[in-house]
Amino acid sequence: MKTILAAFISIVVISPAHAQSLFGGFVYLRDVDSSIIQDIRYATSNNFVGRPLAGYDAGECVVKREVGLRLKAVQQELAAQNLSLKMFDCYRPARASLDMVKWSQNGHETAAERRYNPKIPKTELFRLGYIASRSQHSTGAALDLTLVDLKADNSGKYDPSRSYADCTAPAEARAPEGSVDMGTGYDCTDTKGHTAAPSINPDQRAWRKRLVTAMARQGFVNYSKEWWHFSLPGAGGAAYDFPIQPRRN
């Protein structure tokens, strides 16, 4: 833990009073392209921790301006195909990553948590590279997202009172995400969540390829262990820790 804390000494910590002004080249994605669907999961209880993470005071996607403009370009290409991006996570306050560290060390795992980690103990998630104590998300260079078929029925909603199958199960048994079937749910720490996993079916593989290809045209690079995770080389820098606050209309 001392090593983890030491790594955060270099993080740029900004007071909440300045967070709304979105310094450091950050913008609200809604101000760049309001058509991009947002489901910022760490601002809700619908995530592997089971509660909002520290620093997520609003369910808003905050990105570096360049990142937002490139996402807008991706969205424009997808719109012609009746598709949309759906954002799960964008900028992540550094305190949220520390919150994940504490969660991984709390000594117990619930059934809801195991939906996301069906085969891997949560104490192993950092060592295996599924979660980072110092995330690229905090620099503004990384994103978690998926595709939505705008012609499909996307009305299914997450019900916290239900017992869903784990993230590797067929889409009809998993928690609904209102998106195309990528073969696993979001944040699924399993080899089936690896982008090139051989265990998914041809349709799921085609959707993953479609997403990777669309993002690559704007310079985004996919992380091989997570089909949903993309980064923009050169867009990062210092890690930030300002909280995500509600956007003013």
Let me know if 109 is a catalytic residue: no
Most confident of 107-111, 139-143, 233-237: 139-143
Q: Extract the tokens encoding 120.
A: 């891997």
For residue 142, give the CATH number of its domain. 3.30.1380.10
Top-ranked range on mean pLDDT: pick from 7-16, 122-131, 213-222: 213-222
Q: Confirm whether 106 is domain-assigned.
A: yes
Residue 226 lies inside a defined structural domain of this protein: yes
Q: Which domain holds residue 151?
A: 2-6+23-231
Domain-embedded: residue 152: yes
Look at residue 75 and tell me if it is in a domain.
yes
In a domain, 16, yes or no: no
C-alpha span between 130 and 212 (Å, rounded): 19
CB-CB contact of 28 with 67 (8 Å): no
Residue 121 belongs to some domain of the structure: yes
Q: Which residues are annotated as a binding site?
A: 137, 144, 229
| 225 located within any domain | yes
A 10 A CB-CB count for 188 gives: 26
Binding residues for Zn(2+): 137, 144, 229
**Structure-token pair, residue 98:** 């520390």
| pLDDT of the residue at 21 | 52
The catalytic residue among 60, 109, 124, 226 is 226
DSSP run (H or E) holding 221: strand 221-223
Please tell me the total count of domains within the chain: 1
* Nearest to 29, CA basis, from 62, 59, 56: 62
pLDDT at 12 over 60: no
Burial class (CB in 10 A: 0-12, 13-18, 19+), 144: buried
Q: pLDDT for 62-79, tens place per residue?
A: 999 999 999 999 999 999
Name the band, by pLDDT with cuts 50, 70 and 90, for residue 10. very low
Position 133, amino acid: S
Q: What is the pLDDT of residue 95?
A: 96
